[in-house]
C-alpha cells in the first residue's frame, strides 16, 4: 500500500479531480490511462511525454512495472522510479491500472462489483476511495499527548 502521507493523498485527489475535469482519458494510452494520469500529477510530465517514453519499451503499465528492477534504465523505469520515490509501490501501480487493491475495494463497498478498470468514472471512484483510506491510516497514526489541566501553565 502506498505511503500514507499528505503528498500521496493530495496526488491521488488531484489525479481524481483532473480526471473528472478532463475529457482526455484513454485506458490504452500510456499517458492518459489510470497510471498515466497519476504519473502526470507526480512527475509534471504531459500525457504525450509519458506516452512517448513508455512506447520506447514494450507492454502496458502492468507489464512494464513487472519488468521494473531499477537497474535496466529503460525510459519508463525513470517514471516508475519517480512514482515509487514519491510513495507508491509497484503493486500500487499494477492495482491502479486494474482497480484491484482489496483494501481500496473494501472502502468502496458494493459498488466495487460494478467497477470497470477502463471507465473514467470508476477510476475516479477508486482514486477517491484510495485517498480516503490513506487519510484514515494517516489520522490513526497521529498521536496527541494527553495533558492534565494542572500541567498547563497559567498566563498573566
Q: Of 39 and 61, which is predicted with more confidence?
A: 39
In this predicted model, what pLDDT tens digit does every residue of 94-150 receive, in sequence order?
999 999 999 999 999 887 778 999 999 999 999 999 999 999 999 988 887 776 666
* Residue 154, domain member (yes or no): no
Q: Nearest-CA neighbor of 77 among 66, 68, 86?
A: 68
Which residue carries 476511495 as its cell?
Answer: 129
Inside any domain, residue 151: no
Residue 74 lies in a domain: yes
CA distances from 30 to 33, 60, 76, 116, 132 (A): 6, 7, 10, 18, 26
Specify the pLDDT at position 29.
93
The predicted pLDDT at position 151 comes to: 65
- Residue 19: inside a domain: yes
Q: What is the pLDDT of residue 148?
A: 65
Q: What is the largest CA-CA distance in the chain?
A: 70
Q: Is 103 within a domain?
A: yes
Q: Domain span at residue 86?
A: 6-142
Amino acid at each position: 500500500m502506498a505511503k500514507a502521507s499528505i503528498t500521496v493523498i493530495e496526488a491521488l485527489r488531484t489525479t481524481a479531480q483532473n480526471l473528472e475535469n478532463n475529457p482526455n482519458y484513454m485506458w490504452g494510452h500510456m499517458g492518459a490511462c489510470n497510471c498515466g494520469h497519476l504519473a502526470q500529477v507526480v512527475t509534471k510530465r504531459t500525457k504525450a511525454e509519458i506516452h512517448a517514453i513508455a512506447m520506447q519499451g514494450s507492454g502496458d503499465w502492468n507489464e512494464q512495472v513487472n519488468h521494473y528492477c531499477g537497474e535496466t534504465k529503460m525510459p519508463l523505469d525513470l517514471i516508475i522510479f519517480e512514482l515509487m520515490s514519491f510513495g507508491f509501490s509497484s503493486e500500487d501501480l499494477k492495482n491502479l491500472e486494474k482497480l484491484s487493491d482489496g483494501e481500496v475495494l473494501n472502502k468502496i463497498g458494493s459498488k466495487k462489483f460494478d467497477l470497470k478498470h477502463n471507465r473514467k468514472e470508476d477510476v475516479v471512484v477508486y482514486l477517491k476511495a484510495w485517498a480516503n483510506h490513506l487519510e484514515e491510516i494517516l489520522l490513526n497514526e497521529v498521536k496527541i499527548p494527553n495533558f492534565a489541566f494542572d500541567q498547563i501553565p497559567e498566563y498573566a
